[in-house]
Amino acid sequence: MKRQESEFANPSVAATGQHLGALVRQARIARKWTMAELAERARVSLATLKRIEGGSLSTSMGAWLAVLERVGLMSRVAELRDPASEALLNETRAKRVRGKSAISDLDF
């Protein structure tokens, strides 16, 4: 039996899915598109679009991104940054030793 993502999601994740779905619906309505028109433009099924607008957590990331792109919200997703992770990654890179590898040349 397929696992329902919503059963395992914390309330914050579920609320974010609902929020994103509402943004998609709002953007679609602002453009005066029907659900069928947006589904066709995003190349997803009508059922998938309904799940996205409902904030479904089990819908694929690819479908979400296709719909977000069609309603003009992809640039907002592309702006997302995580300064904490970037700082940790930079720190890790700075600590890495730049010497020769302990393994000899394996070129045969």
Report domain extents, the chain.
Answer: 9-93
> Does the structure show a pLDDT above 60 at 30?
yes
Under CATH, which number does the domain 9-93 receive?
Answer: 1.10.260.40
Predicted structure pTM score: 0.74
Q: What is the pLDDT of residue 9?
A: 85
> Does the structure show a pLDDT above 90 at 72?
yes
Higher pLDDT among residues 87 and 105, named by residue: 87
- Could you tell me the pLDDT band of residue 14, with boundaries at 50, 70 and 90? very high
Which of 46, 56, 47, 45 has the alpha carbon at shortest distance from 22?
56
